[in-house]
Amino acid sequence: MTKQMTQKEFKRVETKYLVPKQCLPDLMADLAVHLMEDTFARSTITSLYFDTADFTMIQDSLAKKHGKEKVRLRTYAPKPLLTSPAFLEIKQKIAGIGYKYRVATTPAIAGKFLSGQGSKEIVDDRMMAQLALLEKRYGTITPRMLIAYKRQSFRGRNDHSVRVTVDTNLTYAEVNHLTLTSFEASPLLPQNQVVMEIKVEDQIPVWLQTILETYNFEKVSFSKYGQAYQLHQESQLSQEAHYA
């Protein structure tokens, strides 16, 4: 029996586009000529981002410092629990190339690991080394932002390294403890927008670039966590002005 291996490391060129929802039917029809559904074509994604109490990591990321680092816990469980399968991930973006390193775990184990209590279940030298560097720079990091959405995933029919994802129903919520649900989630984007992301090893293929130009889509610098943080800050300022 062959043991299934989980990919730990990713390196790819990622470009994002904010797409009007009304364009999706025609766009997906055009893409379907070259793309097929990925192995896990439809998923619910819940990401819990870790940061300092005053969000220093995401502030540095938005300022393009330190490789735009992010630490998150991601699960694909439709109704995530603290015992659900998950990935602890460290993301960076350097010179336009996205890097991601992850280890398989559960939210409960990852939360214990990141709190400094240690965990026999996570034994990964590279993850521990990278987290040690972040701890030296930022000190203690804790759960700070929860982001959830629905995703459709596609890959190239001829070149499986070409991947396209479409994210809808994006929500965010500030948190201050280990959780994967929130009753205070707010929309991350206007109702008529979705996020399309293209992930390739090198350059976007000509056929895909032609489709993007047909719809006049231009790539954007967009971070879900960055957007959530900025909306959260705007909300805080609005509340302070209201009660001033």
Q: What CATH number has the domain bearing residue 133?
A: 3.20.100.30
Question: Per residue of the chain (244 residues), what is the pLDDT tens digit?
Answer: 334 456 888 888 999 999 999 999 999 999 999 999 998 899 999 999 999 999 999 999 999 888 889 999 999 999 999 999 999 999 998 887 889 999 999 999 999 888 876 656 777 888 888 998 999 999 999 999 999 999 999 999 999 999 999 999 999 999 999 999 998 899 999 999 999 999 998 899 999 999 999 999 999 999 999 999 999 999 887 666 655 5
pLDDT of residue 168: 96
Note whether residue 99 is domain-resident.
yes
Please give the Cα distance from 93 to 85 (Å, whole number). 26
Note whether residue 75 is domain-resident.
yes
Per DSSP, 63 falls in state T
Note whether residue 198 is domain-resident.
yes
The residue ranges of DSSP E strands in the chain, in sequence order, are: 9-20, 35-51, 70-75, 86-94, 97-105, 142-156, 163-174, 186-187, 193-200
Note whether residue 134 is domain-resident.
yes
pLDDT of residue 124: 82
Q: Which domain holds residue 62?
A: 9-239
pLDDT of residue 242: 54
pLDDT of residue 2: 39
Note whether residue 44 is domain-resident.
yes
Q: How many domains does the chain have?
A: 1
Note whether residue 18 is domain-resident.
yes
Asked if residues 138 and 8 have their Cβ atoms less than 8 Å apart, the reply is: no
Token pair in block for residue 145: 């932002």
Please give the Cα distance from 151 to 169 (Å, whole number). 9
Note whether residue 60 is domain-resident.
yes
Report the amino acid identity of residue 215: Y
Length of the chain, please?
244
Per DSSP, 239 falls in state H
Note whether residue 145 is domain-resident.
yes
Please give the Cα distance from 62 to 226 (Å, whole number). 7
- Closest by CA position to 48, among listed 81, 4, 95: 81
Asked if residues 199 and 163 have their Cβ atoms less than 8 Å apart, the reply is: yes
Q: Kindly give the residue spans of alpha helices, DSSP state H, lying in the chain.
A: 24-31, 56-62, 107-114, 125-138, 206-214, 224-243
